[in-house]
Structure 1
C-alpha cells in the first residue's frame, strides 16, 4: 500500500496510538485529519504539528459521527483512508452490580462507532482508485484479559468484523487491514491507575507506529505487532499467563 499522498481520518487522535500514527503519516506527506473530544488538546496538536487537521467529535454520539463524516466529504473530498482507532478500556466485575452506562459507553466507542463509520465511508471510498479501512483491534481479541472483559470482547468483535468486511469488499478498490497491538505505552485504561497521568507500560508507542506503517506498506492485512504473535498462536497458554492475579 502506498502511504504517501493520501487523505486519512484517524479517530481518537489526541493521544497514544492515534496521535503517534498521525504524526508519522503526516511526515510521509499525507493529509491527516484527527478527531477527539478534547478541544484544547486538538488545538495544541494542530499548533505544534504543521499540516495535521483537527476536528472536535465525540464518537460515542451517533449524530456527531454523521456530522464529522459530512464535514470531511465537503472539506476533504479526496479522503481515501479511514483508521478506526478510538477506544476505551474499563474494568468489569461480574460479582458486583455493573454500571450499564459504562458497558454501553465501552461498546459504543469500541464497536458500534467503527461499524457506523464503515457504513458511512464504504460507498464513498469504493469510488476511489485506491482506498483502505484500517481497524485497530488488540491482542486481547485473541486472549481476553478477564478484568477487562467487555473491552476484550469488543476487540474480538472487531477482529470478526474485519474478516467479514474484507471478504465483502474483496472486489472493490478498498483494502481492509487489521492492526493488532500488544500492550502499548499509552493512556489507555488510565481510569484504573492511582496516578491518572501514568501509563501502563508496554511497547513504545512511536516504535509501534513505525511497525504499523511497515505492515501497511507491505500489505500485511492482519498485522500482529510485537508480542501479539504469541497471543494469536498460543491462546490458552497465554490466557493463563495474562490472567495471573
Structure 2
C-alpha cells in the first residue's frame, strides 16, 4: 500500500486508534475522510487540517451503510483506501440467562459493518489505482478475553473473513489486517490510563513505520501483539489465555 497521495476513508475516525492514524496518514500527504457516529468528535479530529473531512456513519442497517457509501463516493470520488476501523467492546456475563443485546450489537458493528461497507464500496475500489482495504481486528482475535466473548469472536471472524477477501482480491485490491494489542484508548471505560496497555502515540508511531515497509505486510503487527498473535503457533496458547483472563 502506498502511504502518500491516497484518499482514505477511515471509519471510527473520531477517537482512539482511528483518529490518531487518520491524522498520521494526513500528515504524510493523504486526503482523509473520517467517519463515525458523533459529529463533534469527528470535527475535533479534523480541526485545522486541510484535506481532512468528516462524515457521520450509521452502521446499524444495510440501508444506512449503502446510503453512507453512496454519499462518500459522490463527495469524494478519488477514495482508493477503505479503512474499516469502527468497533465496540463490552463485557458480558454468559453464566446465566440474560439479554443477547451486547452480542448482537457487537457483531453488527464489528463484523457486519466492515462486511457491508466493503461490499458497498468494492465496485468503486476495483476501479481505482492503488486501491487497498485495511481491516482492524485485535490481538484478541487469536486469544480471546473471557470478559468480552462477543468482541473477541467478532474480531476472530473478521480475521478469517479478511484472509478470504485478500485471496479473492489478490492482484486487484490490496487487503491488509491491522491487529492492535491493548492500547490506551477509551474503547472501554478507563482504558486510556490503564497500566500495561500500550500508549496510543507509541502504537501509532510503530504502525506507521510498518505501513511504510515495502511491501506492506499483509498483517500489520506491532511487537506488543506478537505474544497473542503467535501464541498457538509457539505452543503457549494456554499461557496467553491465562493472561487475557486476568485482565
TM-score, structure 2 as length reference? 0.91
| Distance across 2 between alignment mates of 1:53 and 1:126 | 23
Give the stretch that moved more between structures: 16-25 or 60-69. Answer: 60-69
- 1:33 is paired with a residue whose SS is strand
| Distance across 2 between alignment mates of 1:183 and 1:6 | 28
Aligned to 1:212: 207
Aligned to 2:240: 238
- 1:241 is paired with a residue whose SS is helix
Aligned to 2:96: 96
Task: Go from structure 1 to structure 2 and tell me whether the alpha carbon gap of 1:38 and 1:3 turns closer, same or farther (over 3 Å shift).
Answer: same
Residue pair 1:4, 1:30 contacting (<8 A) in 2 also: yes
Aligned to 2:234: none
Aligned to 1:38: 38
| Distance across 1 between alignment mates of 2:85 and 2:56 | 15
What displacement does 1:226 show?
2.8
Q: Provide, for residues 116-146 of structure 1, a one-character-per-residue CA deviation record: whole Å limited to 9, x for no partner.
A: 0111112211111211000010000000001
| Distance across 2 between alignment mates of 1:212 and 1:55 | 24
- 1:55 is paired with a residue whose SS is strand
Aligned to 2:188: 189
Q: How does 1:80-229 map to 2 (within 5 A)?
A: 80-172=80-172, 174-190=173-189, 199-201=193-195, 202-218=197-213, 219-229=216-226
| Distance across 2 between alignment mates of 1:44 and 1:243 | 35
| Distance across 2 between alignment mates of 1:92 and 1:45 | 31
What displacement does 1:186 show?
0.3
What displacement does 1:207 show?
2.1
Q: Unaligned regions of 5+ residues in structure 2, if any?
A: 232-236
TM-score, structure 1 as length reference? 0.92
Q: Unaligned regions of 5+ residues in structure 1, if any?
A: none
| Distance across 2 between alignment mates of 1:65 and 1:210 | 31
How many residue pairs get aligned? The number is 239
What displacement does 1:205 show?
1.3
| Distance across 2 between alignment mates of 1:156 and 1:100 | 19
Give the stretch that moved more between structures: 135-144 or 98-107. Answer: 98-107
| Distance across 1 between alignment mates of 2:221 and 2:175 | 15
Aligned to 2:67: 67
What displacement does 1:237 show?
1.8
What displacement does 1:199 show?
4.3
| Distance across 1 between alignment mates of 2:129 and 2:47 | 32
- 2:223 is paired with a residue whose SS is coil
What displacement does 1:198 show?
5.3
| Distance across 1 between alignment mates of 2:193 and 2:54 | 24
Residue pair 2:184, 2:199 contacting (<8 A) in 1 also: yes
Aligned to 2:27: 27
What displacement does 1:170 show?
1.1
